[in-house]
């Protein structure tokens, strides 16, 4: 093997080690990126801090007990009362109503998409759901006020212009894509082997779906419901426009109510000066809202994570 003189000879050996300026710039870049990532934590802490600090000013004047369990919410009218239950009740009414709409349609759509739909049908339904999910809430509020409410009034003439039912219906429409998508994903995640097992035993598709697949996907399905409900709780504009602004403790869907979120908007529109009781109520109600949604989201995400880990 004779070396060829025409070969371009190899690079001479170079000593290892030694610092380069790339070290410094690498570290700087990593620091900047880390700072951006940490912003997420900073935001969470800020939200928590702001809510807690400002609402503690509120709870210096009003006892937590009275707030959580009082049944009259009248922070601005004499005689004042700071029981938040009417607002919670209003939110509850919306949640139940929207669940009545979103759960059946969402679950059925999820099952239909994953088990029965042809690719062509999927091509229509999935984009539809995406569009429904992308429509801003204010549009739904408008739709509720100008279309749904007259419809309800045609059937139940005693319905007020502002009523809970109309808002609940559109909130249901708003969250049903979320339910449908998560259910669709959860059901698809169930391995084919389980279905084959069911079919091989001579069951109809309904039986396999209802008794094998959906139970296997159950935690994913439940997580979907919880996330959707959490979204309904946080929903603001649709209820603000359609459900009205009278805080009352009632289960009648045909009358006007006020949710926690709608109350906050009401105060926000009024531009209350800092330090007033009005201003502080924003944070008291806000901290309650934040706590509820945080817990629900946390639980739902944990369940979803465990579900995914099981099947992937």
Partner 1 sequence: MTVSTTPPTSTGVTERQDSASTEKAAPILEARQVSLAYGDNEVVHSVDLTIPERNITAIIGPSGCGKSTLLRAFNRMNDFIPEFRSEGQILYRGDDLYASDIDPVEVRLRIGMVFQKPNPFPKSITKNVSWSPKLNGYKGDIDELVETSLQKAALWDEVKDRLQDSALGLSGGQQQRLCIARALAMEPEVILMDEPCSALDPASTARIEDLLYELRKRYTIVIVTHNMQQAARVSDHTAFFENGNLIEYGETDQVFTRPNQKRTEDYVSGRFG
Partner 2 sequence: MSWTLKTQGGLARRRRKEKLFRVLCASLTWTAIVLLAVLLFHICRTGIGWLDWQFLTSFPSYDPKDAGLKAALFGTIWLIAMTAAISIPVGVAAAVWLEEYAGDGRFARFLALNIQNLAGVPSIVYGILGLAVFVRALRFGQSLLAGSLTMSLLILPVIIIAAREAIRAVPPSIRQAAFALGATRWQTTRHHVLPSALPGILTGVILAISRAIGETAPLIMVGAVAYVAFVPQGPTDSFSCLPIQIYNWTERPQAAFHELAAAGIIVLLVALLAMNAIAVWIRHRFSKEPR
Number of residues that bind partner 1 (CB under 8 A): 21
Is 7 or 271 the residue whose CB approaches partner 2 more closely?
A: 271
168's contact among partner 2, partner 1, none, with CB below 5 to 8 A by partner kind, is none
Contact pattern for partner 1 over residues 20 through 49, marking x by CB under 8 A: x-xx--------------------------
Give the HSE-up count for residue 310: Cα atoms under 13 Å, Cβ half-sphere: 16
Q: Is 269 a binder of partner 1 (CB under 8 A)?
A: no
Q: Are 212 and 194 in contact (CB under 8 A)?
A: yes
CB of 22 to partner 1, least distance (A): 7
12's contact among partner 1, partner 2, none, with CB below 5 to 8 A by partner kind, is partner 1
13's contact among partner 2, partner 1, none, with CB below 5 to 8 A by partner kind, is partner 1
CB of 12 to partner 1, least distance (A): 4
Distance CA 213, CA 184 (A): 11
137's contact among partner 2, partner 1, none, with CB below 5 to 8 A by partner kind, is partner 2
Phi (first) and psi of residue 73, to 5 degrees? -110, 100
Q: Are 243 and 162 in contact (CB under 8 A)?
A: yes
154's contact among partner 2, partner 1, none, with CB below 5 to 8 A by partner kind, is none
Segment lying near partner 1 (by CB under 8 A), choices 5-13, 55-63, 73-81, 300-308? 5-13
Is 18 or 119 the residue whose CB approaches partner 1 more closely?
A: 18
Q: Is 17 a binder of partner 1 (CB under 8 A)?
A: yes
158's contact among partner 2, partner 1, none, with CB below 5 to 8 A by partner kind, is none
CB of 9 to partner 1, least distance (A): 5
Distance CA 217, CA 187 (A): 5
CA Rg, the chain, in Å?
28
Is 5 or 269 the residue whose CB approaches partner 1 more closely?
A: 5
Whose tokens are 């059901």? That residue is: 187
Q: Is 15 a binder of partner 1 (CB under 8 A)?
A: yes
Is 20 or 120 the residue whose CB approaches partner 1 more closely?
A: 20
Is 23 or 120 the residue whose CB approaches partner 1 more closely?
A: 23
Residues within the interface to partner 1 (CB under 8 A): 1-5, 7-20, 22-23
């Amino acid at each position: 093997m004779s070396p060829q003189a025409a070969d371009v000879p190899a690079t001479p050996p170079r000593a290892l080690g030694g610092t380069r300026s790339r070290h410094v710039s690498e570290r700087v870049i990593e620091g900047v990126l880390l700072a951006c990532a940490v912003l997420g934590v900073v935001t969470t802490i800020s939200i928590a801090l702001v809510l807690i600090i400002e609402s503690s000013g509120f709870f210096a004047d009003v006892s937590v007990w009275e707030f959580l369990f009082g049944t009259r919410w009248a922070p601005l009218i004499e005689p004042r009362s700071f029981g938040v239950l009417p607002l919670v009740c209003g939110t509850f009414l919306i949640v139940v109503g929207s669940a009545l709409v979103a759960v059946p349609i969402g679950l059925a759509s999820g099952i239909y998409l994953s088990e029965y739909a042809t690719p062509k049908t999927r091509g229509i339904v999935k984009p539809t759901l995406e569009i429904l999910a992308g429509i801003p809430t204010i549009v739904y509020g408008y739709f509720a006020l100008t279309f749904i409410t007259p419809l309800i009034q045609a059937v139940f003439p005693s319905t007020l212009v502002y009523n809970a039912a109309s808002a609940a219906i559109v909130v249901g429409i708003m969250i049903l894509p979320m339910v449908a998508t998560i259910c669709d994903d959860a059901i698809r995640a169930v391995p084919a082997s389980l279905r084959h097992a069911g079919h091989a035993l001579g069951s109809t598709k309904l039986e396999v779906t209802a008794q094998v697949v959906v139970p296997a996907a159950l935690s994913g399905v439940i997580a979907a419901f919880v996330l959707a409900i959490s979204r309904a709780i946080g929903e603001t504009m649709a209820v603000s426009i359609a459900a009205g602004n009278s805080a009352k403790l009632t289960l009648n869907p045909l009358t006007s109510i006020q949710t926690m979120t709608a109350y906050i908007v009401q105060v926000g529109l009024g531009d209350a000066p800092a330090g007033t009781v009005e201003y502080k109520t924003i944070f008291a109600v806000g901290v309650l809202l934040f706590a509820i949604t945080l817990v629900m989201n946390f639980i739902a995400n944990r369940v979803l994570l465990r579900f995914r880990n099981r099947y992937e």
